[in-house]
Amino acid sequence: MTLTVNGERREVPDVATIAELLDHFRIQHQAVGVLINGEVVGRGDFGTAPVREGDTLDIVRFVGGG
């Protein structure tokens, strides 16, 4: 499927949910922010929030050092 991830068009294996997409990118689910088509998705909804062909996603991890 084709998605726009962090501003870039990406071909990714078909995924059904945000959790699956994060796993595909090997991104931990802790302290990561995800917007799908501009809407924030809560971490508790990663496993159910659907990802559809053509969606725009922004994924940002919280940077903890200081």
Give the binding site for another protein (CB under 8 A): 6-7, 28, 30-33, 35, 38, 40, 42-44, 58, 60-66
Choose between 33 and 50: whose C-beta lies nearer to another protein: 33
Residues 6 or more apart whose CB falls under 8 angstroms from that of 47 comprise: 17, 18, 19
The pair of three-digit structure tokens given for residue 11, joined into one six-digit string:
């071909």
CB of 15 to another protein, least distance (A): 20
How far apart CA 66 and CA 5 sit, in angstroms, is 27
CB of 35 to another protein, least distance (A): 6
